Structure 1
């Protein structure tokens, strides 16, 4: 199994812990009207990771198709940067969240390097998608993609509801 698959799985596990522990149990973000913007960013990031997990679970992206993966990675950085600003403006992050964010950012760097190496190798190949099977890794990434997609919808709906609460309070 290629190293980038391990980095993606580690990221999904740490991200899942962050969401359940910090966003849901400690901060209770879906019930806080001031967290509407943060929930929008979380929904966007979860959607990007759902697409990334699924895109790399079963395929290699050859030739100019590598730009799909590059676009997902660049968008993820932009969303995470915006989320970092919003979080700092809305709430004080608990220690557990700050520590998990450190591990997420460290792993993100490793994930970018490892995925980038694969993309560099794939870009010189003829254009197309090549089916791959990473064994259990493909199945774990598929499950993570479905979980991230479900949570993206959930957080997106929470953001809409919280935005309406904010609008009616004005």
Structure 2
């Protein structure tokens, strides 16, 4: 078991969110679900926590009502090797009420922020040629969903 685990607070849809996230990433699974007891605060006999794993990283999700909300100060950063993978993740995460943002960021239907980033982006932004890096940076800043071919074209001038 990992020693540090991201803990995500949901109003009442932790189980649905965990099941959805697990469906998007290979090597992912639900590990454990606990329920509130009849005398517990919250939703009696409803799901209290869901422990799940995405690509080998463990997360804990809690149903505890609308006390706290996600902000962009915490986001799920995921890399993708192909445009097809970027498109698949982006489209799935903004479906049913998610919101696209800029520079590869979006919010899913529960308000959790995600960054869907091409694996190649770090190389482009840190290119030894500062002009190539600057062109790639400017292209990225103008995008919502990141486009690998457009980033490459911008870097190449």
Normalised TM-score (structure 1): 0.27
Query: 1 or 2, which has the higher strand percentage?
Result: 2
Query: 1 or 2, which has the higher helix percentage?
Result: 1
Normalised TM-score (structure 2): 0.28
Larger radius of gyration: 2
- Greater RCO (CA < 8 Å, at least 6 residues apart): 1
